Structure 1
Amino acid sequence: MSTIIEKAQELKQTLANSEEFATLRSLHGQINADEVAKRMLDNFRKLQLELQQKQMQGVQITQEEAEQAQKQFELVQQHELISKLMEAEQNLSTIIGDVNKIITEPLEEIYGNPEQ
């Protein structure tokens, strides 16, 4: 078991030293230094979280809320730094998803692929 944990620690360090993570960290720092960008992103994420919580509670999102979220998304996408941050987040999320898929392959051999 300790070998698995050691490999996970190595993977953590590899991720932390990756170009993708460095880009994300840099963009995050730039946004935190830009008061307007930070406020825009914080407001968007707050709205996003509120809507997710409603969905998890089984509450139907209104058309107005959906439109408001879409407008906020379009607004933040127009901000160059925020757009780059979201792209960097997506890139890193894809990498983590790929890693997860790779490390769970042995379990799929036993239990099958739940996506099928």
Structure 2
Amino acid sequence: MVNVYDKANELAGLIKQSDEYKAYDRIKDEVYEDEQNKRMIKDYKKLQFEAQAAYLTGQEPAPELMEKIQKMGEVLQFNPKITEFFSAEYKFNTLVSDVYKIIGDACDVGANMFDED
């Protein structure tokens, strides 16, 4: 009998060995060594979360919030390490998302939600 939790732990170990995770972990450590970089990234993500929360509740985010996000994003893009961090984070998140999709597809999770009979 296969223990699903053992396999999940094995998969977690493989993910931690992936190039995507190693690149993300390395650049995260480098970027977060600088407290200002760390604070700016956390502030930026907090603003993005606020905007996403508004969308999820069926509302438009406040124009001021969207302007803050845009201005902060413009500032962050001038820092090559932060740009590298966001790129590595995106690649790692894509890997995790793909794994979740594979599991969801294999188990038919939500597959027929929008299909017409």
- Equivalences for 1:40-55 in 2 at 5 Å? 40-55=40-55
Give the helix-richer structure, 1 or 2: 1
In structure 1, how many angstroms separate the alpha carbons of the residues matched to 2:111 and 2:49?
33
Q: Verify the 8 A CA contact 1:28 1:85 in the aligned structure 2.
A: yes
Deviation at 1:94, TM superposition (A): 0.9
The residue aligned with 2:97 is 97
Give the SS at the match of 2:77: helix
In structure 2, how many angstroms separate the alpha carbons of the residues matched to 1:115 and 1:92?
28
Q: Verify the 8 A CA contact 2:27 2:81 in the aligned structure 1.
A: yes
- Equivalences for 1:20-59 in 2 at 5 Å? 20-56=20-56
Deviation at 1:12, TM superposition (A): 0.3
Deviation at 1:55, TM superposition (A): 4.2
Q: Structure 2 vs 1, CA of residues 45 and 105 (structure 1 numbering), >3 Å: closer, same or farther?
A: closer
In structure 2, how many angstroms separate the alpha carbons of the residues matched to 1:106 and 1:82?
36
The residue aligned with 1:107 is 107
- Equivalences for 1:75-86 in 2 at 5 Å? 75-86=75-86
Tell me which amino acid in the other structure corresponds to 1:91. K
In structure 2, how many angstroms separate the alpha carbons of the residues matched to 1:58 and 1:27?
35
Q: Which runs of 5+ in 1 are unaligned?
A: none
Aligned length: 115
In structure 2, how many angstroms separate the alpha carbons of the residues matched to 1:46 and 1:106?
34
Deviation at 1:115, TM superposition (A): 5.9
Q: Verify the 8 A CA contact 1:27 1:85 in the aligned structure 2.
A: yes
TM-score (norm 1): 0.80
| Higher mean C-alpha deviation, range 82-91 or range 2-11 | 2-11
Percent of residue pairs bearing the same amino acid type: 30
RMSD: 2.4
Q: Which runs of 5+ in 2 are unaligned?
A: none
